[in-house]
Amino acid sequence: MNLDLLKNRKKQRSFKRLIKSFKYAAEGFIYTLKNEQNLIVHICTAVIAIIFGLIFRISIVEWLFILIIIGLVFCSELINTSIEALVDLVSPEKHPLAKIAKDAAAGAVLCLCAVALIGGLIIFVPKIIGIFL
């Protein structure tokens, strides 16, 4: 590995640089929010889960699951968006490998959403059934 490359990779630490990094992260989130309708679906689902959590007074452990899975779903959607953008940059024309990369990233989001749904059902279905018994 080239040591000069590693030296150039070192970045100065500063408060201004830290603030800029938060600004760039917010821009990435806002871009995804404006351009990926799935993130809107994830946000709406998260709001519903939080409302249900408040209504049913779920336990601390249940809250931890809900909050962690919400964060993971949001993060996976942001990573999926970045992979799609990168693939579009390096392969503007249709290519089978580009399709695989984009589909696999979307599949990862889908898998995580399935886990979130199952977890939400495990937490909330018994509470909903308890209302009617």
Task: Confirm if 72 and 109 have CB atoms less than 8 A apart.
Answer: no
Alpha-carbon torsion (92, 93, 98, 103), positive or negative: positive
Q: Which two tokens stand for residue 70?
A: 């919400």
User: What is d(CA 110, CA 117) in angstroms, rounded to the nearest whole number?
Assistant: 10
Active site residues: 77
